[in-house]
A and B are shown apart, each in its own frame.
Chain A
Amino acid sequence: MMNLIQSITSKVPSLPLFATSESRQASGAAEAGTSTGISGTSGTPGKEKAGKQLRMETRDLTVRYGSTVGVKNVSLPIYDNQVLALIGPSGCGKTTYLRALNRMHDLTRGASVTGSVLLDGKNIYDSEVNPVIIRRRIGMVFQKPTPFPTMSIYDNVVAGLKLVGIRKRSVLDVVCERALKQAALFDEVKDRLKSPGSSLSGGQQQRLSIARALAVGPEVLLMDEPTSSLDPQSTSRIEDLIHELKNQVTIVIVTHNMQQAARVSDNTAFFYVGDLIEYGPTSTLFTKPKETRTEEYITGRFG
């Protein structure tokens, strides 16, 4: 197994495929030596797992669409191997904030981002940073499942590897199986990996999207209301998944469902009309909110 890990990681130095915290450090170190990663990756976490390690951080992050401001001066820490939930009423900037974390706004017409988003201490909006590399390290799962329509289940999962030139069947097979298992989909689809991704049910398609995001070995996973179009059973499967995944990746999840935020997250940030109102450990925020607006929202008085 170790040989295999080495063969994969040496083939794909920029992809930390095996995302246990030890091997991530190892591959992170390997990455610092290559030109593909962010130059001078410095934020190597300490050896002890005890304390909270800062993985990402935003400083005075502001996103504008033309002259409208979507998110105003948001500064938030995102801790390693923890789940951060973003809650708030519709149109409050949660998704806008989330999309700024892996430079998805680069392609939105008229959108501009100011302030900084640090990944391991390095601003991902610096001019020399390649957004493609950033998006391999910070994956994203969208509100609606988006399997690539012409691809099989297998090809969907390995798309992020295959389409950048990794064609070795043995490598892809391993990655596909591991990603599907992580996404709790493997048992349901193992006998029909060749059938189209669009033939799956909605909940399965969403787990396929998660598997596809995990297959490239991201360090951070952004989830934009991943369960909003799913039935309760699929929702609970995905919540279980988040619990399992957080040992391996750092997760930021946008949700409309406050029970969900309370169930899955370690920390919660409450947004309202583009402002970050309150941030804190989930247990504290839901039981003893400091701000009255937070209290009003979580007790269902508005939103």
Chain B
Amino acid sequence: MKTLLQRNIRDRIMESLLVLSTIVVLLPLIIILVHVVVNGISALNWDFFTQELGSPSRALQGRPTGLVHTILGTLVVDFLALFLAVPIGFGAGIMLSEFPDHKLNPTLRVMNDTLNGMPAILKGLLAFVLIVKPMGTFSGLAGAVALAFVMIPIIARTTESALMSIPWSIREAGLAIGLPRWRVVLSTVMPAARFGLVTGTLIAFARAAGEAAPLLFTSFGNNYLPNHWLGMLLGPVDTLPQRLYSLAISPYSHWHSMGWAAAIVLLVFVIVCFGTARYLTRQKH
């Protein structure tokens, strides 16, 4: 029989271990945030948000240069990807959760997991074959399709688990007042699962927004703003992760700090999305 003091000491030790492991989890995140901000903050100025990048000589000659075309391109490509992926991902998730006995479901599950595990660069290749080849040009549309392939399996999986967490009794209650199956899912189960649905979609969005590989040979990159807004969809377009990569491997120190600044923007973009969604889902309750 241990004394009370010994048990209290044990309790304290366990508590400090838990705190320590939390710190270990958070540490890499803090290091990345600090490092990125310290290196990139100097390049974040008005020009960064209003000017195009142009050729390297622009920066060398001290003319204004920035990443406005990259930021706009990222918004267009990412949100188009989201627009493509959400209906398909939700559909697959509903199928997996609400019709567990359907004969296509085992296949769907295996294929969804395979797609999820497939390297992102192969999804870029797929979009290249599907969109870039027939169109004959790199395009924002191809980039969005590639990113949609990144999002779909994640959304499908999170949708499935979010819907599964809603008790079966809610569905029966809906059916018992004479609602058709699809209406029960749409109006009672999905609203009840909205927090999980939004969170899952955001995880998928954040994952895809940070992917550079699928965009390398789909949206390709562009140093200039397209002349017409449709150029964002139908021609090569810049995106933050891929621009970050090409700035980082460039030989110009000015471009290096712009790369860090691009990283800040990307991080803020993702954090703002998360924040907004969390705020929205809390409000309703």
Contact = CB atoms under 8 A, between A and B. Distances in A.
B101 A109 contact: yes
Pairs A-B, 9 closest by C-beta atoms: A136-B178, A160-B177, A140-B176, A146-B173, A150-B191, A135-B178, A149-B192, A146-B169, A148-B188
B101 A135 contact: no
7 contacts: A104-B172, A132-B180, A135-B175, A139-B178, A149-B170, A150-B191, A213-B176
A209 interface: yes
Nearest to A134: B178
Nearest to A161: B177
Nearest to A214: B177
Contacts of A50: none
B194 A148 contact: no
A164 B171 CA distance: 16
A107 interface: yes
Interface string B162-198: 0000000111111111111001000110011010000
Secondary structure at the B interface, as helix, strand, loop or mixed, is: helix
Given A141-B176, A159-B174, 6 more contacts: A132-B175, A132-B178, A135-B176, A146-B173, A149-B192, A212-B173
Nearest to A160: B177
Interface string A135-170: 111011110101011110000000110011000000
B100 interface: yes
Contacts of A107: 171-172, 175
Interface of B: 100-101, 169-180, 183, 187-188, 191-192, 194, 284
Contact of B192 (A133, A141, A148, A213): A148
Interface of A: 102, 104, 107, 109, 132-133, 135-137, 139-142, 144, 146, 148-151, 159-160, 163-164, 209, 212-213, 215-216
B42 to A, nearest CB: 48
A61 B96 CA distance: 32
Contacts of A209: 173
Contact of B170 (A148, A160, A213): A148
B173 A142 contact: yes
B183 A163 contact: yes
Contacts of B171: 107
A144 B194 contact: no
A132 B194 contact: no
Contacts of B101: 109
Contacts of B194: 150
B177 A212 contact: yes
B98 to A, nearest CB: 10
Contacts of B178: 132-133, 135-137, 139, 160, 164, 216
Nearest to A209: B173
Contacts of B173: 142, 146, 148, 209, 212
Given A109-B101, A148-B188, A149-B192, A139 B177 contact: yes
Contacts of B174: 148, 159
A226 to B, nearest CB: 13
Contacts of A160: 177-179
A163 to B, nearest CB: 5
A224 B177 CA distance: 15
B172 A142 contact: yes
Contacts of A212: 173, 177
B178 to A, nearest CB: 3
Contacts of B183: 163-164
A215 B191 CA distance: 22
Contact of A136 (B100, B170, B177, B192): B177
A91 B85 CA distance: 46
A164 B176 CA distance: 14
A136 B176 CA distance: 7
Contacts of B175: 104, 107, 132, 135
A296 B82 CA distance: 65
A148 B183 CA distance: 13
A213 B178 CA distance: 9
A132 B175 CA distance: 7
Given A109-B101, A164-B183, A146 B177 contact: no
